[in-house]
C-alpha cells in the first residue's frame, strides 16, 4: 500500500488488501487483453479478513477503528504471521470458491441477474459489480446470453 493510501486508511504501508476476479474476454467492452487490470475484470470480489484489528486511524483520527478489507501489519511486523495466516485462509475460503463458481458461464449469468454489489464484511467477500440496470450491466447480460446460446 502506498504512503498516500495508507495515511488515508490509517495503517502502515506494510498493510494490504486482497481481491479475486474472473475475466470473460467476450464481455470486455474494449479489445480483450491477456492480463486484465482490476477494472477490466467481469467479476471482482474484495476479501474480508476474519481477524479483528482495531488499529486503524483514518486520516490521523485516533479512533482505533477496524476495516474488514485491509490486513493491518504493524510497523514492527510483530503481527505478520497472524496476518499472513488469516490472509491465506481467507483466499482459500472466499477467493477460490468465488473463482470456481464464476468460472462456469451459467453461474456467471446467475450472478449477473441476481447478485447486487456489496461491501466485504469480517469473514465475507464483498462483490464489486456494475449496478443492475446500468448500461454496462445490460451489455454484460446480453453478451453472456449470446455466448450461452
More confident residue, 88 or 128: 88
The phi-psi region of residue 64 (left if phi > 0; otherwise alpha if psi is between -120 and 50; otherwise beta) is left
Q: What is the pLDDT of residue 52?
A: 95
Grid cell digits, residue 73: 501489519
Among residues 12, 17, 18, 4, the alpha carbon closest in space to that of 57 is found at 12
Residues 17, 104: Cα–Cα separation, whole Å: 26
Q: How far is CA 147 from CA 46, 60, 97, 138, 144, in A?
A: 27, 49, 23, 14, 5
Going by pLDDT thresholds of 50, 70 and 90, the confidence category of residue 78 is very high
Where are the chain's structural domains? 3-148
pLDDT surpassing 90 at residue 3: yes
- Tell me the residue length of the chain: 149
Share of the chain above pLDDT 90, in %: 44
**Cβ neighbours for 10, distance < 8 A, ≥ 6 positions apart:** 56, 57, 58, 59, 60, 61, 65
Residues 143, 104: Cα–Cα separation, whole Å: 15
Q: What is the pLDDT of residue 50?
A: 96
Q: What is the pLDDT of residue 130?
A: 67
Main-chain dihedrals φ then ψ at residue 126, nearest 5 degrees: -90, 150
Q: What is the pLDDT of residue 117?
A: 81
Q: What is the pLDDT of residue 140?
A: 83
Residues 90-123 pLDDT 10s: 999 999 999 999 988 889 888 888 888 888 889 8
Contact 66, 58 (CB under 8 A): no
Contact 115, 98 (CB under 8 A): no
Residues 7-62 pLDDT 10s: 999 999 999 999 999 988 888 777 888 898 888 888 899 999 999 999 888 877 77
Mean pLDDT within 51-74: 88
Amino acid at each position: 500500500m502506498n504512503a498516500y493510501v495508507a495515511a488515508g486508511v490509517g495503517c502502515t504501508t506494510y498493510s494490504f488488501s486482497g481481491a479475486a476476479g474472473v475475466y470473460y474476454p467476450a464481455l470486455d467492452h474494449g479489445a480483450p487483453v491477456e492480463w486484465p487490470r482490476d477494472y477490466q475484470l467481469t467479476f471482482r470480489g474484495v476479501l474480508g479478513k476474519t481477524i479483528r484489528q482495531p488499529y486503524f486511524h483514518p486520516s490521523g483520527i485516533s479512533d482505533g477503528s477496524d476495516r474488514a478489507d485491509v490486513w493491518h501489519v504493524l510497523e514492527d511486523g510483530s503481527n505478520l504471521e497472524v496476518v499472513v495466516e488469516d490472509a491465506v485462509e481467507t483466499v482459500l475460503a472466499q477467493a477460490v470458491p468465488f473463482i470456481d463458481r464464476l468460472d462456469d458461464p451459467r453461474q456467471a449469468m446467475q450472478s449477473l441477474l441476481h447478485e447486487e454489489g456489496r461491501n466485504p464484511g469480517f469473514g465475507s467477500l464483498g462483490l464489486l459489480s456494475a449496478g443492475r440496470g446500468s448500461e454496462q450491466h445490460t451489455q454484460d447480460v446480453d453478451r453472456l446470453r449470446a455466448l450461452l446460446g
